[in-house]
Structures are given as C-alpha cells and as structure tokens.
Amino acid sequence: MKKLFLYFLSFFLIFSCSQDDSITLDNISDAELIELIKNYDHKVEVSAEEIPLSAENYMIENLINSTPQQRYLAHDLGYEVKMQRNGRNLNYILTSMYIYFNIDGDVLLNDYYDQDEDGNYDCDEDWEEELCFDILFPIEFTMPDSSVHVANNEDDLYDIIDSWYEDHPDVDEEPEIHFPIEIVWHSESENGGEEEEVIEINSMDELDEFYEMCEDWEWDDEDWEEELCFDILFPIEFTMPDGSVHVANNEDDLYDIIDSWYEDHPDVDEEPEIHFPIEIVWYSESENGGEEEEVIEINSMDELDEFYEMCED
C-alpha cells in the first residue's frame, strides 16, 4: 500500500510541477522522498558544478571511502548520487551504492542509511558487510587500457588489478566485469540452516538488485547458535572436498582442521562431509523442572535436521 501511495504521489508531483514550480515537500519524510527520487523515471545526469555545494561537501567530508561516479537530478525532488567504493576488493569493484539529497543539498536518511539513528550516513562503513552471496570464478574483466584479464580466484583478481595499477599510477577508472557471471546466493532454509542457489547474473543492474536484497537479509549466526539444544559428541570423522579423511577430537580441533584446509585450497567452495552415525546429547526439561540429558545416535543429515527443527520449539 505504501509503494502504491508513493507511486501516485510521485505522479501527482510530476504533473503539478508542470503547472506550478512552487511545489514544496515539507510534509514528506526523508524515507518517502528517497523513494520518490529512486522511482523518478526521468532523472537527468548533472555535473559536480550543478549539484548544491553543500551536497558535494557532505560527500567529501563524510564518505571518505568512496567516490561519486554519477550525479542525477530528479526534477523538483532532489539528487541521487551513485558512489563507487575505493579499493581493489571484489565487492568494491562489482558494487555501487547511492546517496540521496533534497533539492537544497541536504542529505536524506532513512532506517537503512542511518541504522544507528545518529544522523549520519552509515553505509560507507558497513558496505562490505552487506554481501550475502559469493561470486563464482573464473571471471573475465577489462582494465581501463582495454586489456582483458581472467581471474581464477579472488586472490588472483587482486594480484592482477594491484599489479596493473602499480604500472598505471595516474589512472583512476575502475575495471569492467564481463557479464554474465554466476553467484551463489545464501538464504535460510525452512529448518533454520543455510541453503545455496547458483544464479546467473547478466548485467550490473541485475547484480545491484541482489545487493539491495542483501539489505533485507536477516539470518543471524549468533541467534542460530543460541537456539541449539543439543551437543555433538566428539570425536567425529569427516571428509574434505579433496577426499582426505580427518578426525576432530573437539570443536576447536574441528575448526582448526577445516580452516587450515581451506587456507591451502583457496579455490574450493565445497563443504566437508560428516561421517554418520554420530551421537548427540539432547537436552530437555525433566518432570521436576530440571534438565535431563539423553544420548541419541544420528544416522544421516536429514535426521540431524529434524533435531534442529525441534530446537526451534
């Protein structure tokens, strides 16, 4: 309903501006005005000299980790500025973010852009943390001198790009990724775990849509761990993606083995495979209100998922 309201409000404002240039937006919140600017279909690109100086100064003083790329005017509403994150990180290269100003050059904030409600734009600091999917390699890209390169993993990408900029210290333009690429989208499954989906991305606009969806991704690792109502009994045996078999004698041992293996195999995305059966200690409430424990044998991942589901209750 709110989007429908904003649509009609936007239509009304566009029509009215053609009749009366004195339209004011005093009764519209920052969040509503941001939506109007986003959804305005006839934004016009403007230069840095055509945007209010206060807006340019705000970006210089507060968005030190990013650089304005394009500035757009939504007639009588305000400005949308597309920012590029400074750095050679894959997330920085592939993504853009936007900041919005009213027609006078005052920054516009909403619950997302000012999450801690301190009146400052937060996204510049938190940008990298928003990523909720992985890029699948290899990917092909063109550097500003039109040279084409292929990166087989993220480290390879950084090495190629860093080396190129060392040889071209006066160049500020960013690399251009060749589409289509594939991403692994992470989401929460019905049983509270994580599921993955491989999705083909055909343009930067399409990729931006997935970054926007990351803003609403609320799966919380910390909360998930607190919901666990049983313990895994060690030792457990598991197989890594190269077929090597390992035994972990406790949780720290498990983390050390897995972390060490992936450090030696940075190009591998597959997960370890647990050997069943394993045993868990199931915790429940006794008749007298205390806690009782039961050792249960688990024979498959599906069976283990059933216990995770029971933890939710």
Please state whether the predicted TM-score (pTM) of the whole model is above 0.95: no
* Boundaries of domain holding 85: 2-130
User: What is the phi-psi region of residue 130: left when phi exceeds 0, alpha when psi lies from -120 to 50, beta otherwise?
Assistant: alpha
Whether 119 and 145 share a structural domain: no
Asked whether residue 79 falls in the same domain as residue 94, the answer is yes
CA–CA dist 214, 18 (Å, integer): 37
Question: Where residue 96 falls among pLDDT bands split at 50, 70, 90?
Answer: low
Instruction: Answer yes or no: do 56 and 102 share one domain.
Output: yes
Other beta carbons within 10 Å of 213: 14
CA distance readout (Å), 310 to 29, 151, 192, 277: 43, 44, 11, 19
3-class secondary structure, 94? helix
Residues 95 and 209 in one domain: no
Mean pLDDT of 170-186: 85
Domain end marker among 172, 197, 214: 214
- Average pLDDT of the residues of the chain: 77
Q: Picking from 39-48, 124-133, 189-198, which range would have the lowest pLDDT averaged per residue?
A: 124-133
Task: Report residue 17's pLDDT band, with 50, 70 and 90 as the boundaries.
Answer: very low
Structural domain total, the chain = 3
Q: What is the mean pLDDT of residues 211-226?
A: 52
pLDDT per position as a tens digit, 121-173: 665 444 444 457 788 889 999 998 999 999 888 778 878 887 888 898 888 77
Peptide bond into 175 cis (omega under 30): no
Of residues 22, 21, 46, the one with CA closest to residue 105 = 46
Q: Give me the pLDDT at residue 60, please.
A: 85
Residue 76, pLDDT > 80, answer yes
More confident residue, 103 or 17: 103
Q: Are residues 207 and 226 in the same domain?
A: no
Dig out the tokens for 274 from the structure. Answer: 């647990």
Asked whether the predicted pLDDT for residue 10 surpasses 50, the reply is no
Where is the domain boundary, 164, 193, 214? 214
Give the pLDDT confidence score for residue 297 in this predicted structure. Answer: 94
Last residue in a domain, options 130, 162, 189: 130
| Pair 88, 139 in one domain | no
Q: Is 23's pLDDT higher than 80? A: no
Q: Is 133 exposed, middle or buried (0-12, 13-18, 19+ CB in 10 A)?
A: buried
- The DSSP call for residue 267 is T
Please tell me whether residues 146 and 252 are part of one structural domain: no
